[in-house]
Amino acid sequence: MTLSARCTSGADGGCLWTLDATADLKAGSVAMIEHTAATGHAIFARTVEDMACVVLNSSQEQTRRLAGNQRELAASEEHARAGHP
């Protein structure tokens, strides 16, 4: 899990302070507290991201989905070669 943030305080949300993504959630919270203590800015937009691992139990389902993904990728590549965004 990672946390990133940006300060939305200041004149018209003009503060440029940001917190790069960190897996140390406690340190991220401390960084925001320290920014608030130093500036009085107290409003932050935070993004919390986690990862999920999905495991398919059925080998038939794995094969079916892999084939579908490969068809979708091929269609996407063909679309890009045709000059479409």
Q: Is pLDDT of 37 > 90?
A: yes
Other CB atoms within 10 Å distance of the CB of residue 6: 14
Say what the pLDDT of residue 73 is: 85
Tokens linked to 77: 């590549």
The answer to whether residue 9 scores a pLDDT higher than 80 is yes
pLDDT of 39 strictly over 80:
yes
**pLDDT at 36 (0 to 100):** 97
